[in-house]
Amino acid sequence: MHTRAVGQAAPSASTIDRLYPGVTPAALKFPNPDKRLAYGTAGFRDAAELLESTLLRMGMLAALRSMKTGMAVGIAVTASHNAAGDNGVKLVDPGGGMLERAWEGAAEELANAPPHRLAFALAEEGVALLGGAARDLGELTTPQLHHCVRMANAERGGGPYWGRAEWRGEGGYFKMVASAFAEVRNAGTDGELNLNCGAEHAQKTQRPPAGFVAGRDNGKRCCSLDGDADRLVYHYFDSSGVWHLLDGDKMAALVATFLQEELAAAGLHHRLSMAVVQTAYANGASTAFLKANGIKVAFAATGVKFLHHEALRYDVGVYFEANGHGTVLFKDSAVSTLLSRQVRAAQQARRRKALAVKRLLHVRQLVNQAVGDAFSDILLAEVILRLRKWGLPEWDAMYADLPSRQVRAATALRTARLNAEAHALDPRGRCFVRPSGTEDAVRVYAEAATQGEADALALAALQVRARARVAYGEECEVI
């Protein structure tokens, strides 16, 4: 819903016609409807085409109310829960509440007095005719406008505990609500961080987080983040109670295909380079899918710093580790090209091209350009799913992962982290062993045509390592 907030007005006058000679001619341009309008709890509510004169007059009344109180008041133009053909207008008092009852009669009298354009321009014109200053707040919900008015008037409108200056406006509304939600949501929790939950748990163990169970949670859309919110995976139980994981590889596929489509629609797919950067942990099916769809795949050593560096080589670089850590990077030169194309598309009235450029620029704004950010990645995934009218099953069906297994073996030698990765390829699959970058351990990853073969391949690699390191008394743990 669009809204308008009315600010401080000019001093009042003894007669409107004498000091504001434009009022009567303006009112004559917008005839009254052939019915009497009543101001109720929801203000004036009727068919949109019957409210043009009322909008003009409520702008006048808002200015008068602001003059009277010496504070900002609001005008909400909204059909609320009614059908699209309906509309409505009501005033918001300085305290953020409904219009004072004593003024409702004045509203009815002004709306129904003997002596057309649409919505907000009329309200703004009405405000201006009486010397008021209107400020366009854009599209807000009605409660948000009430909030903005209350915050604009600070203690005078909301009392001594009205709030904080940082809560003013639409941005302040979200800051206020989000911070309160986080505090209430987190208050009193005593669970151990990342214990049997989070992106790492779901991706490495291939199991859902504790508390998310088949049957009760079938069909629910779930995200798992890690403790510092830089990793993200999606997962769900289907109607049969089978758990499905959509990891960083699936995220890369979703994002890259969307960007590919928009670059093509913008006419920039041959001008701007794009690639998905993966590591050896990426499932082979994801790599094959990307290549089959004409998307360049580049490889980097395991570790975010290596992926990020490689992604910077392209105009648009997409990287997501299998564990869900990733983002999308845009070169400055790519942004400059997009801005230039945006101007040309607007001049040529190329709607689809202009829309594609707009989407690409907003993707760049949405995703974190510094590092993987689970919150911005969630928003990116959700907007792509909405545009495609997909749920998680449709996203999951982009390709089927090859069966894989990861195992971990503790090591007593911290210097093992400095050793190089070892890879083995086999017609039945692939396997590699690498030292952990964060623990005193080595990790084994195996991938094959069946789960049994992947398990056997991982175990065989682990046994080879165990025989070579048995003298150190190290333990092996299957994860």
Helix (H, G, I), strand (E, B) or coil at 329: strand
Cα–Cα distance for residue pair 78/55, rounded to 1 Å:
11
Residue indicated by tokens 């360049």: 296
3-state secondary structure labels for all residues of 449-473: CCHHHHHHHHHHHHHHHHHHHHHHC
Residue indicated by tokens 């290549």: 291
Question: What is the chain's Cα-based Rg?
Answer: 30
Cα–Cα distance for residue pair 416/424, rounded to 1 Å:
19
What are the φ/ψ torsions at residue 362 (nearest 5 degrees)?
-75, -30
Q: Spell out the residues 6+ positions from residue 127 whose beta carbon is closer than 8 angstroms to its own.
A: 4, 6, 9, 59, 60, 62, 63, 133, 134
Neighbours of 78 (CB within 10 A): 21
Could you confirm whether 80 is annotated as catalytic? yes
Pairing of strands 476-478, 404-410: antiparallel
Q: Which of 12, 14, 66, 80 is catalytic?
A: 80
- Residues assigned a catalytic role: 80
